[in-house]
Amino acid sequence: MKKAHRNFQVKPWMGCMGFLGFLGFLPKHGGGRNYLFFVFFAFFAWFFWGLLYKEPADERLVENETRAMRIVGGLFALLSFLLLFLLDRQGIGRDTVLLFGALGYSVCSVAAPALTYYLDRKA
């Protein structure tokens, strides 16, 4: 069996940084929302990476990870197109585009390891 080389270490505290995303609900000093903080929700992906890295990597896990990354890569491409389309529209505000971008990035970032974990458990 072929073993995969893992390039990064999973630290438990990194998943806790996802709670900083809730700062997006607090108003700014001027009165608007801090939508950029929603990007911190992407740190919840470290929970799933931690679950995946508890076991040694084998061919099945590498194949499932590749499959999940292909699916989520398509979601990232669709999100990029949507953001560019929204930036071109005159009636759409910058805050709306920032909200979609931040939440979309977080969802896609969490979806990759979650989908890998799901595919690995399903097989």
pLDDT in tens, 103-116: 999 999 999 999 99
pLDDT (0 to 100) of residue 2: 53
The tokens for 113 are 């390891």
The tokens for 55 are 């076991």
pLDDT (0 to 100) of residue 8: 66
> How far is the C-alpha of 110 from the C-alpha of 100, rounded, in Å?
15
The values of phi and psi at residue 79, to 5°, are -65, -40
pLDDT in tens, 51-102: 888 888 889 999 999 999 999 999 999 999 999 998 888 888 888 889 999 9
CA of 44: how far to CAs of 2, 6, 84, in Å? Answer: 29, 19, 26
Predicted confidence (pLDDT) at residue 34 exceeds the cutoff of 60: yes
> How far is the C-alpha of 115 from the C-alpha of 122, rounded, in Å?
10
Mean pLDDT across the chain, nearest whole number? Answer: 88
Domain boundary assignment for the chain: 14-122
pLDDT (0 to 100) of residue 15: 86
DSSP string of 35-51, one letter each residue: GGGGGGGGGGHHHHHHH
pLDDT in tens, 10-28: 777 888 899 999 999 998 8
pLDDT (0 to 100) of residue 5: 55
Q: Is 54 exposed, middle or buried (0-12, 13-18, 19+ CB in 10 A)?
A: exposed
| H or E element, residue 86 | helix 59-88
